[in-house]
Structure 1
Amino acid sequence: MEQPVDYEWLPTKCASCKKLGHTAASCKHAPDVVKRMKEPQTQSSKDLITAGGIDTAIPGTPSMFCKNNRRTRLIQTFHMILMEFCNILSWNVRGMNKKNRQMAVLEVCRLNKIGIGALIETKTKGNKINDVMTSTFVGWNFYSSSILEGRILLIWKANLVKIDILQESDQLLHSRVRLLGRNHDFCLSIVYGSNNLETRKLLWSDLSTVQRPIKPWILLGDFNVVFNMDDRLGGRPISVKEMEDAHQWLALGMATEMKTLGPAYTWSNKQDGGARIFSKLDRVFTNENWSDTFPLASAFS
Structure 2
Amino acid sequence: MEHKGAAAKGFPNLIKDIAQRYSLSCLALFETRVSGAIADQILRKLRFFSSYVVHDEGFSGGIWLLWDPSLMHVDILKTHRQFIHTQITLIGSTSPFFATFIYASPNSSLRRMLWDELRSLTNLAPWITLGDFNVGRLASEKRGVAGPNLLSMSQFHNCLQSCNLTDMGFSGPPFTWEGRWG
Q: TM-score, normalised by structure 2?
A: 0.87
Cα deviations across residues 120-154 of structure 1 (Å, max 9, x unaligned)? 111221122322222x124521012xxx2130010
Match of 2:108 among 189, 197, 213: 197
Cα RMSD (Å): 2.1
Aligned partners of 1:248 and 1:270: how far apart in 2? 30
Kindly state the Cα deviation for residue 235 of structure 1 after the two structures are TM-superposed: 1.2
| 1:162-201 → structure 2 map (5 Å cutoff) | 162-201=73-112
Kindly state the Cα deviation for residue 254 of structure 1 after the two structures are TM-superposed: 1.7
Which residues of structure 1 form unaligned runs of 5+? 1-92, 273-301
SS in 1 for 2:140: coil
Q: Name 1:149's counterpart in structure 2.
A: 55
Is residue 176–residue 186 contact of structure 1 (8 Å, CA) maintained in 2?
Answer: yes
Give aligned-pair identity as a percent. Answer: 26
Cα deviations across residues 17-56 of structure 1 (Å, max 9, x unaligned)? xxxxxxxxxxxxxxxxxxxxxxxxxxxxxxxxxxxxxxxx
SS in 1 for 2:25: strand
Cα deviations across residues 178-227 of structure 1 (Å, max 9, x unaligned)? 101223321110110111111111110011111665x2111100111121
Aligned partners of 1:139 and 1:101: how far apart in 2? 14
Kindly state the Cα deviation for residue 100 of structure 1 after the two structures are TM-superposed: 0.8
Q: Name 2:153's counterpart in structure 1.
A: 243
Is residue 94–residue 121 contact of structure 1 (8 Å, CA) maintained in 2?
Answer: no
SS in 2 for 1:250: helix
In terms of fraction of residues, the more strand-rich structure is 1
Q: Name 2:164's counterpart in structure 1.
A: 254
SS in 2 for 1:178: strand
Residues 94 and 194 from structure 1, CA distance in 2 versus in 1: closer, same or farther, beyond 3 angstroms?
A: farther
Count of residues paired in the alignment: 175
Is residue 122–residue 164 contact of structure 2 (8 Å, CA) maintained in 1?
Answer: no
SS in 1 for 2:5: coil
Q: Which has the larger radius of gyration?
A: 1
Q: TM-score, normalised by structure 1?
A: 0.54
Q: Name 1:11's counterpart in structure 2.
A: none
